[in-house]
Chains A and B, each alone.
Chain A
């Protein structure tokens, strides 16, 4: 059990990284960005591209990758920031100026998602890729926990990143402005907050986090053009479960999804076994996230950490 909990936390941390960016976009830009999953794939593939250019620089801490992947990720973040800022400038900004309602903008982002995925398919083809073909043997710890060095690296990096984003939102002027705008956009504008700057920083944070999350997913699982599209479901479930706009909600929501996807069906299976009911629960694994979100929305319609709907 402890082992599955550990791997749930690692998967959950990748979801949380993505969900934090998504929840910021959802609340500050006020639409559901369906292209976020494909930005996740794009980030991972651009890292793959730079990794191919840089070659092998040796590894550290027994990881399956090395300094070249770290450098490739940093380069990938830079490229991705240019891409997301250009997308905002030429795609979402005109929509904002037209006064497009959130539903319209969300649908526009769905179109963008298809475009991005097609670009990935054209550039890299549909084949599965790996950053490294070497197989890491997991290290044994007490309580039957087995963790690969890569997974340890992913978990530690996630917590450092989350802490940095938290500090940014809490301590800096821009961060405070972002929170203010997420809280109440009308009041924020009335108080003289520069919305353009806040939106730019939202994209910068979201773009950085999603590139790193995509790369982590590539390290942990594999690279596929479709992976980000499938990853949208846990991302949105985490955001909605935690409460749209809530930083801690996204973090906790991501962890809950990661852990429950790994553990719930196994636990139910064991209960069924002990009741001597012969049913294969693994079939229902994909349903876990949906059942969770339904239950949480019924109990707390505004999410775990979300604020009650404000009057407008």
Chain B
């Protein structure tokens, strides 16, 4: 097709083009460095089933970025967060992770909220740290991640235990479990069932559901057989409210128990009336520590409300430990391989020993200074102590909450092993 005279000229053009692009890239990178900015990514579900969570967690991320910058920023640089929408959809999640890694070129990502297993094959080989604020399933522990995958929330092995025992404690003898057909739902349903039955209860039926369906009557009717005392509904708010409304209007269930996935003001508002008064649930966090109190006050100040869903404080902690790890790594290590540098320092800044650092601008200032002087620190987060183990897991407290006057109110925090 190509004539022999045409080909070299074309090649020349191509070479020239590449050269110009490279130059431009170097120039832009240099400009970016000169401005002393460092960008981290955040991969959150801004649409789909988990949209209410995504929005609230984004507020947590933005608050952390603001506080870190008010404290001077890591290594004196300005911290920036770039957001990508995972749409509560694994395909979109993977796409978002690819874009953060290859287009935005971030060294660390706060997120995803669920399905770290989808993001990890993209992030880990490219040396990008991911810290999920909320990916609770047990299998996250054993992901093949070259130690690049972390989370600032407790494993569902713990939440399932608290949820199962709570069901028994509330006086339910027989229960049915309806869980969302994904790795989160299945895992939590299993561990919840195990502990409810260990406590003395009996799970009469267990069924899964797929989100976005028009009707869940079939599953609900199946589960209502044998008249269980309560429905343990393991899912997310969007379709979860359809299930609750249908169960109520068909007169199949009137007692519900919820895990973290349903800890959202939206379920109370969408179901309406007083149908959910007195229902209980479990969720992450709310350790009764100064960091959390300070976080709540700052959140209220910034947005005028308290967080509308769980996990915003876990995301806040994720941003903070990334920034602290950047400071600990130093400029040279950060330039060479930023993701690895952050990964290698995360445990140093989050775990004991060292001076305790709470979630506040003053403490972050202190932490930056201590790290610059080569001293050890131990971040005590808003979501819990945030001490990463060898798998990148943390043990954060589990909150038991209930619905009172159409609000989610904390009952007590449990620290389970």
B219 at interface, CB cutoff 8 A: yes
Q: Mask for B241-257, Cβ within 8 A of A = 1, else 0?
A: 11001001111000000
B222 touches A7 (CB 8 A): no
CA distance A225 to B46 in the complex (A): 13
B266 at interface, CB cutoff 8 A: yes
CA distance A86 to B212 in the complex (A): 30
Q: How far is the CB of A96 from chain B (nearest CB, A)?
A: 33
A195 at interface, CB cutoff 8 A: no
Contact of A14 among B46, B209, B214 (CB under 8 A): B214
Q: How far is the CB of B325 from chain A (nearest CB, A)?
A: 32
Contact of A282 among B51, B207, B238 (CB under 8 A): B207
Interface bin, chain A:
35 or more
A30 at interface, CB cutoff 8 A: no
B209 touches A222 (CB 8 A): no
Task: Chain A residues near B206: list those with CB within 8 A.
Answer: 280
Task: Chain B residues near A7: list those with CB within 8 A.
Answer: 215, 217
Q: Taking each of B208, B217, B218, B250, which has the highest tally of chain A beta carbons within 10 Å of its own beta carbon?
A: B218
B222 touches A269 (CB 8 A): yes
CA distance A88 to B215 in the complex (A): 33
Task: Chain A residues near B249: list those with CB within 8 A.
Answer: 135-138, 148
Contact of B251 among A121, A127, A146, A283 (CB under 8 A): A146
CA distance A222 to B267 in the complex (A): 13
Task: Chain A residues near B242: list those with CB within 8 A.
Answer: 221-222
Stretch at the interface among A36-44, A70-78, A259-267: A259-267
Interface bin, chain B:
35 or more
Q: How far is the CB of B305 from chain A (nearest CB, A)?
A: 15
CA distance A266 to B47 in the complex (A): 31
A99 at interface, CB cutoff 8 A: no
A128 touches B272 (CB 8 A): no
Task: Chain A residues near B51: list those with CB within 8 A.
Answer: 126-127
B269 at interface, CB cutoff 8 A: yes
A266 touches B270 (CB 8 A): no
Task: Chain B residues near A266: list those with CB within 8 A.
Answer: 218, 221-222
Q: How far is the CB of A131 from chain B (nearest CB, A)?
A: 12
Tell me which residues from 201 to 233 in chain B have a Cβ below 8 Å from any Cβ of chain A: 206-210, 212-215, 217-219, 221-222
Task: Chain B residues near A148: list those with CB within 8 A.
Answer: 249
B272 touches A133 (CB 8 A): yes
Contact of B52 among A121, A127, A225, A286 (CB under 8 A): A127
Task: Chain A residues near B272: list those with CB within 8 A.
Answer: 133-135
Q: How far is the CB of B113 from chain A (nearest CB, A)?
A: 14
Query: Nearest residue in B to A267 (C-beta to C-beta)?
Result: B218
Q: Known interface pairs A126-B47, A135-B248. Does A221 touch B271 (Cβ–Cβ under 8 Å)? A: no
Q: Known interface pairs A126-B46, A128-B237. Does A3 touch B210 (Cβ–Cβ under 8 Å)? A: no
Q: How far is the CB of A122 from chain B (nearest CB, A)?
A: 11
CA distance A135 to B276 in the complex (A): 12
A135 touches B273 (CB 8 A): yes
Task: Chain B residues near A138: list those with CB within 8 A.
Answer: 249-251
Task: Chain A residues near B248: list those with CB within 8 A.
Answer: 135, 137
B275 touches A135 (CB 8 A): yes
CA distance A121 to B48 in the complex (A): 11
CA distance A116 to B297 in the complex (A): 40
B266 touches A126 (CB 8 A): no
Q: How far is the CB of B181 from chain A (nearest CB, A)?
A: 6
Task: Chain B residues near A222: list those with CB within 8 A.
Answer: 238, 241-242, 270
CA distance A121 to B55 in the complex (A): 14
Tell me which residues from 209 to 238 in chain A have a Cβ below 8 Å from any Cβ of chain B: 217, 220-222, 224-227, 230
A189 at interface, CB cutoff 8 A: no
B47 touches A137 (CB 8 A): no
Contact of A285 among B210, B237, B238 (CB under 8 A): B210
Q: Known interface pairs A4-B221, A135-B271, A221-B242. Does A226 touch B214 (Cβ–Cβ under 8 Å)? A: no
Task: Chain B residues near A221: list those with CB within 8 A.
Answer: 214-215, 242
Task: Chain A residues near B214: list those with CB within 8 A.
Answer: 11, 14, 217, 220-221
CA distance A224 to B52 in the complex (A): 13
A126 touches B271 (CB 8 A): no
Tell me which residues from 135 to 180 in chain A have a Cβ below 8 Å from any Cβ of chain B: 135-138, 146, 148
Task: Chain B residues near A263: list those with CB within 8 A.
Answer: 218
Q: How far is the CB of B226 from chain A (nearest CB, A)?
A: 13
Contact of A137 among B218, B237, B251 (CB under 8 A): B251
Q: Taking each of B47, B52, B214, B250, which has the highest tally of chain A beta carbons within 10 Å of its own beta carbon?
A: B214
Q: Known interface pairs A137-B251, A138-B251, A282-B218. Does A226 touch B48 (Cβ–Cβ under 8 Å)? A: yes
Task: Chain B residues near A230: list those with CB within 8 A.
Answer: 212
Contact of B215 among A135, A262, A283 (CB under 8 A): A262
CA distance A120 to B281 in the complex (A): 33
Q: Taking each of A3, A11, A138, A269, which has the highest tally of chain B beta carbons within 10 Å of its own beta carbon?
A: A138
A282 touches B48 (CB 8 A): no
Task: Chain A residues near B212: list those with CB within 8 A.
Answer: 224, 226-227, 230
B215 touches A11 (CB 8 A): yes
Task: Chain B residues near A14: list those with CB within 8 A.
Answer: 214
Q: How far is the CB of A286 from chain B (nearest CB, A)?
A: 5
Q: Which 10 A-B pairs have the closest CB atoms?
A: A133-B272, A126-B47, A126-B51, A282-B207, A266-B218, A230-B212, A221-B214, A7-B217, A282-B208, A286-B210
Chain A residues within 8 Å of B, Cβ to Cβ? 3-4, 7, 11, 14, 121, 126-128, 130, 133-138, 146, 148, 217, 220-222, 224-227, 230, 261-263, 265-266, 269, 280, 282-283, 285-286
What are 6 A-to-B residue pairs whose CB atoms are below 8 Å? A7-B215, A126-B51, A133-B270, A133-B273, A265-B218, A282-B219
